[in-house]
Amino acid sequence: MARGNGGRLIFKSDDDYLFFLGILAEVARKTRCSILAFCPMPDHFHLLVKVSDIPLSDIMSRLLSRYAKRFNAVHRRRGHLFQSRYKPKLCMNQTYLLTLLVYIHMNPVKEGLVSAPGDWPWSSHKQILGPVHSSLLALDETLALLADDPESARRRYAALLEEKLDGFAPTFEADLEIPPPSPPPPVLATLDEIATELWRRAGTSIRALPGTNRCPKISRLRREFTQLASDAGHANSAIAAFLGIHPTAVGQYLRSLG
């Protein structure tokens, strides 16, 4: 989840919500992640994301930076839109996963915005139950969390929501057992190993030429090396030092590949 800086609004109009969901769909497609649930609200939003090979930090960076830039331009404001860093919560087991799924869609009720989840137009609730459909929600994957067939899954989801509505209280968030933070991903290969493999395949060393070299082949190899090194868990600063380039260039390489 991410919250507006100082509790300020991050969505002021229907266009803001629509633009945010449009960016989210594009980022999900480019990063090959699955959006299992979403719920933007006036001053914060919740997402349930299944990542692939691109880390969550990269996914969220793309989403938050693009949306903040657009929001600031439209509403003629400056400064940070979001409060510090987004807050990730690692989903450790099936029970916690279903708890999150219900919690995300109950959040507008918890915040007093509506009396039932179906009354909030910007969450994925109606896409799970129908009839609303879009390419943003990985609907088949979401339903598979609940049951083996779609109809059983929808019935179970509705029952879980009804159970929570019946016993709803402002302390609902206390029902969530937050697992410990996930450890950083292991480094899968050293920078030297990655560079050596590229050298073997391409016949050219990416370290043999200065970082300012503009040769198309070297630039292509640097981009490929940057992606492989980032996927292996190396920091942008370490990659930049290895290549002899500025850290911002590493970010540009990664964005061009996204």
Task: Note the pLDDT of residue 234.
Answer: 83
Are residues 98 and 201 both part of a single domain? Answer: no
Would you state the pLDDT for residue 41?
96
Q: What confidence score (pLDDT) does residue 189 get?
A: 77
Q: Identify whether residues 253 and 134 lie together within a single domain.
A: no
Question: Is 9 part of any domain?
Answer: yes
Give the DSSP letter string of 113-135: S-SSGGG-TTSSHHHHHSS---S
Tell me which of 232 and 43 has the higher pLDDT: 43
Residues 205 and 135 in one domain: no
* Residues 139, 83 share a domain: yes
Work out the average pLDDT over 98-106. 92
Q: Are residues 136 and 99 in the same domain?
A: yes
Inside any domain, residue 34: yes
Residue 182: inside a domain: no
How high is the pLDDT of residue 134? 81
Chain segment 162-217, per-residue pLDDT in tens: 887 765 443 444 444 444 444 544 556 788 888 888 777 777 666 554 455 557 77
Query: Is the domain of 204 the same as that of 151?
Result: no
170 and 253 fall within a common domain: no
Q: Has residue 186 been placed in a domain? A: no
Residues 112-131 pLDDT 10s: 999 999 999 999 999 999 87
147 and 230 in a single domain? The answer is: no
- Among residues 118, 148, 175, the one where a domain terminates is 175
Q: What is the mean pLDDT of residues 28-34?
A: 94
125 and 214 housed in the same domain:
no
Q: For residue 102, give the nearest of 196, 175, 33 by alpha carbon.
A: 175
Better-scored residue on pLDDT, 184 or 43: 43
Query: Which amino acid is located at 38 in the chain?
Result: F
Would you state the pLDDT for residue 179? 47
Same domain, yes or no: 84 and 127:
yes
Mean pLDDT, the chain, rounded, equals 83
Q: Both 150 and 45 in a single domain? A: yes
Starting at the edge strand found earlier in the chain, the sheet holding 2-3 runs 2-3, 44-50, 34-41
- Gap between the Cα atoms of 145 and 137, Å rounded: 13
**Does 180 map to a domain?**
no
Please indicate, yes or no, if residue 184 is contained in any of the structural domains. Answer: no
Range of the domain at 112: 2-175
* Structural domain count of the chain: 2
Quick check: 8 pLDDT over 60?
yes
Query: What is the identity of the amino acid at 154?
Result: R
